[in-house]
Structure 1
Amino acid sequence: MKDFFTQFDFQSNLLFQELTPEENQLVCNVMEPLTIKKGNMLFYEQGIPTGIFQIKHGKAKKFKRGFSGDEQIFYIYTDGDVLGYHALLGEERYQDSCQALEDLEANFIAKDDFLRLLKEIPSLQHTFIKNISHEFGVLANTIAVLAQKDQKTRLAIFLLLLEKRFSQNSEKVQGIDLTRDDLANIIGTSQESLGRNLKQFKEEGIIEIDKRKIYIKNRYPLLQFLDLKLADLQ
């Protein structure tokens, strides 16, 4: 169901899609290419924003540390996603962190250039404001899932969402390639509990595991957790 994925998708990869060729060229003119190594930070909590990022190739995680120091991952960014603009537009420090999950290529737009673009391209300003409102809804939906759903339902939801995100720029379905620690942080559980549920899903033929990659083999049992039909995910 398109609405199912939309309510958990920032859709920041669409921010520049409505630009005219001339407007798009203005954006490209101020982009600086970057290569960010796996494990390095794009930005960190309480850091001062200096610009925005667009991921060209690769994946990064958006997370916040709790009082105990544990991570809570709220989102996985993939190709085309734009990030880092909330704190910049709000004129405040970053309230979360973003770390590369693999070596990635990105474009960087410096703060002054980005703010100038918003003035020169009124439609871009409107698009960013609209997207921030949408992302607030996505985070609210994510928090509701973490707070209200049982562990197996959370796992079912995030397996479907992650498969969609990891495969959205590929002609074929890709495996969910995350460490067990990161996957446990996403669904809000311990590695031990996650391991037990993954083992059960595997024994029931729902998933297949190849090293750390997870492939969904049978969606029907996952959809039963969500009261959805297979057609709802088309």
Structure 2
Amino acid sequence: MFSLIDQVAVITGAASGIGAATARRFAAAGADVVLATYSPDGHDIDAVRAAVEAAGRRALVVETDVGDTASVDALVDATLAAFGRVDIALANAAIARRRRSVDLDDAAWHQTVNIDLQGVWRVFRAALPSMTAAGFGRLLATASTAGALEAWDEHIHYSAAKAGIVGMVRSLAAEVGPDGITVNAIAPGIIETAQTLDAENSLGAAGISETGRTQPVRRVGRPEDIAAAYHFLASRDASFVTGHLLVVDGGRMLIRG
């Protein structure tokens, strides 16, 4: 079910969290995976590459800054040189920095929007020509419940960027549907990753523990929960799903209104 055999997937933010879990999931389903990583983040991309190769699939690691157009274009060029096509592109890389609105200067605003929103568009734009020529493609993006479904204190820039992804996905889905390309996003709830464990900018360990106790499923999410949803959306079984925001939050929105 949900075979990805011989598909080529590009994943940004692939060294940790949701990106790493999705890379492993896609490889287990039969896909070759291009792992876009950003070294200053300090995550171990070699472990993810090893997991993809252990599944019997090919892995290509490409240093990528999604905040830079030339870097994203080079990512797709490297993918085409190695594999000849791009079937699946997951724009997952993002940053989240806590900042009170009165202290949010232009530089901090633009940094977050440049990576979290424009970075998604750069990935989509670079992958589109190959997908259009092939008459098939899966464009995927990691949005958030923040902005689209709920308010996060001191994250106005992050919320604006993530909400913008939803509008982008819907508009682009209508445009490229006739070309055999679907465009979807996932809105994760609270997922236990290095980002959410950062108490300075997110919940921290104590906040995650408390959130898990109050959610309907009595836990926070794992990266693998989001990877499973991406697996479906990336597959041919999801050919009739496009322009959709899939909320994967353990029922969080049910109790937050």
Q: State the TM bucket, normalised to the shorter chain.
A: 0.3 to 0.5
TM-score normalized by structure 2? 0.30
User: More strand by proportion, 1 or 2?
Assistant: 1
Structure having greater relative contact order (Cα 8 Å, sep ≥ 6):
1
